[in-house]
Amino acid sequence: MEIQAFGTINYIVLFAYLIGVMLVGVYFARRQKSADDYFKAGGRIPGWAAGISVFATTLSSITFMSIPAKAYTSDWTFLVGQYVAILILPLVFYFYIPFFRKLNLTSVYEYLERRFDIKMRLFASMSFMLFHIGRIAIITYLTALALMPFVHIDPLTIVFLIGVLCIVYTFLGGIEGVIWTDVIQGIMLSVAAVVIFVTICFHVDGGVTEVFRLSAEQDKYFPSSSFEWSWTESTLPVLIIGFLFASLQQFTASQDVVQRYIVTDSIEETKKTLITNAKLVACVPIFFFAIGSALYAFYSQNSQLIPENFNTGGILPFYVISQMPAGIAGLIIAAIFAASQSSISSSLNSISACYTVDIYNRFGEEKNMQQSFNMARVVTIIAGILGVAASVYLIKSNESQIWDAFNSLIGLMGGPMTGLFMLGIFVRRANAGSALCGVIAAVVAVLIVRGFTDLNFFFYGVIGTLMVVIVGFITAPLFKSKSAEELNIVTE
């Protein structure tokens, strides 16, 4: 069976969406008068909108496509990771948000200099920037690779549509433009998930009852083997621990999410941000797993519809284009673009914030408001170009296994960053010297584990975080600490 052409109507819908997103950036460009507007939106963002933005930022196009594919070929085990993220929110509510708001931070890594020293700030900020340039490249590359067989657009053109348009609307609209496009994109993602699931159920003989019956019969929810402990496989206990630390990194030490805490006008609105995000995380991801089960039921009944040697990683876009009505299919492919763009635009603005605040404003002569604003926009363009260029390189070199390798590096960078914030806020005796010892120990430990063991990569972030906290605590007496007055401001 040949893969169905994308069709004129679908192309019209897709390009109408892409133009609409760019116009949002144009609309908010008139409000961008200073770096404060560009990075904080002048506190004009309501909590619910910031919450949808956090949800859209953390749900990339790869998640949009890979979760249904995972449920289709395997089971629902990874669903547990979505709910673990909700469990850490009380900790963020009561400890982290008050610190970030009280200190009036633009870059979250400013805290690390106030608590420790400039070295810790630069380590975390530069790690974040490098990681997110790579993230832009990976998300763009994998989205282009996944969509190319179905939309019949050259992968370099897909990279251009995703990357360049992101650069344009982020450059123009700043964080305000990013957040309001995230709102549109987050709603599109959520509605698309529900529409796809309902549509598939209508095409399955026996409907939704048959979908869930077949999955239960085939043990495709939480098989007993997934409850076993493993040092090498992604079983439920490993996922719970791994996602717990990954969520801590995302919500307490990652500029792209933490930046949403400072775009509202009060701490109450900031807490609404996380409550809104928690509600979406509790409801929407389960539909993506249900889509995988529905696809399994549909193609079990209609196996002749799948081409020979088909890569099941693209099962969702394949179904959308081959089975859904013209126009609707285009809208859902646009939602996949939306998932990609929401993650990339957030990365661009947060990279710009880190460079402008942590490096450009921090060193050399004092910069005025206009100079900082100009630099912020320049960095947005440069970061976008670097990400797109890296994505083009991946396409030209036909890299494989890049996503797994990239995920394994999260522990190398994200673990120590998370540990630094935990050490700074909760370990009063810690100081700059002990923090440095902790970071060095963490990086060395993760490199050794990654290079010489088969330990599952979900443990890397755990090791990186705990090594910073433990070594930072133990070595603290060897170095001079800040005064009690200074510590009162920056510790719990």
Nearest to 200 by CA among 326, 76, 324: 324
Contact 64, 335 (CB under 8 A): yes
Close Cβ partners of 371 (under 8 Å, ≥ 6 residues apart): none
The per-residue pLDDT string of the chain (492 residues; one tens digit each, 9 = 90 and over) reads: 445 566 788 888 888 888 888 888 788 877 788 888 888 888 888 999 999 988 888 777 667 778 888 889 888 988 888 888 888 888 888 888 887 888 888 899 999 999 899 999 999 999 899 888 888 888 888 788 777 777 777 888 888 888 888 888 888 888 888 888 888 888 888 888 899 999 999 999 999 999 999 999 999 988 888 888 999 888 899 999 988 998 888 888 889 888 888 888 888 888 888 899 889 888 888 999 999 999 999 999 988 888 877 777 778 888 888 888 888 888 888 888 777 888 888 899 999 999 999 999 999 888 888 888 899 999 999 999 999 998 888 887 765 555 555 555 555 678 899 999 999 999 989 999 999 999 999 999 988 988 889 988 888 889 999 999 999 999 999 988 876 776 777 676
> Buried b / exposed e across 267-292, counting CB within 10 Å, b at 16+?
bebbbbbbebbbebbeebbbbbbbbb
Close Cβ partners of 442 (under 8 Å, ≥ 6 residues apart): 415, 416, 419, 463, 464, 465, 467, 468, 471
Q: Is the dihedral of CA 132, 137, 138, 139 positive or negative?
A: positive
Contact 321, 3 (CB under 8 A): yes
Q: Is the dihedral of CA 138, 140, 141, 146 positive or negative?
A: positive
Give the orientation angle of helix 207-217 with respect to helix 267-301, to 10 degrees. 80
> Buried b / exposed e across 92-123, counting CB within 10 Å, b at 16+?
beeebbebbeeeebbbbbbbbbbbbbeebbbb
Retrieve residue 359's tokens: 């490096």
CA distances from 123 to 116, 129, 309, 312, 447 (A): 12, 10, 46, 40, 17
Amino acid at residue number 281: V
C-beta atoms surrounding 479 within 10 Å: 14
Domains of the chain (ranges plus CATH)?
8-399 (1.20.1730.10), 405-492 (no CATH)
Contact 70, 346 (CB under 8 A): no
pTM over 0.85, yes/no: yes
d(CA 226, CA 48): 36
Retrieve residue 486's tokens: 């200074």
